[in-house]
Amino acid sequence: MAVISDIPDGDNGGAPNKKPQEQPEEVTSLESLPDVLIEHIIARVPRSNHPEISLVSKLFRRIIASPELRLTRSKLAITEHVLYALLAFPPHPPSWYILNASLRLRRVNTLPPMPSGSAVVTIGHEIYVIGGSNGSEYLASVTVVDCRTHTCRSLPSMRIARYRAAAGVIDGKIYVMGGYVNRSGRFRVETFDLERQIWLGSQINSLLRDIVTYDVMKEKIYVLGRHQCLGVYYPKEGTVQSYLGRCNLGGLWQASSCVVDDMLYTIDPGCSVWTPIIVFDPEVNAWKPVKGVCGLPPCLYWYAYESKMANVGGKLVILVGNQSQLLNYYGEKLMYLVRGDSFGETSWI
């Protein structure tokens, strides 16, 4: 199992394993400045240094944890993206890893293991881990990971326990579907209202139970099931459209996929449209090749199903899985840059 998420700003991205140590409180010359000025100074410091800066004093810790700092960074057009990966190496449960400033995946030891088969969505500096399994039963729990402090909190549980569900965020609501079938044979969509912090449920027919992957495009949730079956959920209308068998989107969509600028990118090991990386444009309902791709590792073709993609600031990061190296696995990481009219170039990290 591997899930990767991009955190745009406000996380503790530099030293995931480092535990803050209390330092004697001393008034520094910098602390004599107005808080607003200190905030602007810290905003210009790379976030990889924020954990160390937070050790200086309570004032600095408060500023670094404040939403005002993220707003200041945004106004100053200072943007950083940090990659989080939820990786499982059986028999151990999934744990969080981070691609830090040294360009190495390191485990975040301050975060507890997560359930396997969870649905994951990212909102701001928080990652929502939804449902999953503890090995013996499906779970209805929801855990929120705060990437600024690497701490967790629990949300109200869903009405239904789910394993390998689909989830998407649209208009301030989290939609969760699949991973469970009730006695009437219907698959229920549950909606979490982020403002009111409550779950709402509805009965929807024809949703897929065995979900391979999912993504959000054009305010719709696309769900890929087994045998290239496809379901499209329209949250505003509260309806779902299902396609059984092969269709334009479902025919080439793989588990490793990612949405960039409302277009879906995926790995096509068979190079059906001549390139290993392809993109689906929902406006024309067709797959197109991503040109300029070269130097991809052979294991990307061999283990395409186990690989995962993420959108990191408009770039595709591919974490290539290799089961043959399961006992001593660091993975191969490929940074793929998408630019222009379906044109890309590759670089290693």
pLDDT of residue 33: 85
53 or 293, greater pLDDT = 53
User: What percentage of residues in the chain have a pLDDT greater than 90?
Assistant: 19
pLDDT of residue 2: 63
Residue 272, φ and ψ in degrees, nearest 5: -65, -30
pLDDT confidence band for 203 (50 / 70 / 90):
low
pLDDT of residue 321: 64
Show me where the domains of the chain are located: 30-75, 114-247, 252-349
Q: Which of 93, 79, 61, 180 is nearest to 131 (CA)?
A: 180
Report in angstroms the alpha-carbon separations of 222 from 24, 166, 282: 53, 9, 11
346 has pLDDT over 50: no
345 or 295, greater pLDDT = 295
pLDDT of residue 14: 42
State how far the Cα of 334 lies from the Cα of 220, in Å rounded to an integer.
29
pLDDT of residue 210: 74
34-65 pLDDT tens trace: 888 988 988 888 775 676 687 788 888 888 88
Highest mean predicted confidence (pLDDT) among 9-13, 164-168, 211-215, 238-242: 164-168
State how far the Cα of 314 lies from the Cα of 259, in Å rounded to an integer.
9
Helix axes 58-65, 35-43, angle to 10 degrees: 60
pLDDT of residue 246: 57
pTM recorded for the entire structure: 0.75
Indicate the fold that domain 114-247 takes in CATH: Neuraminidase (2.120.10)
pLDDT of residue 66: 84
Helix (H) or strand (E) holding 72: helix 67-75
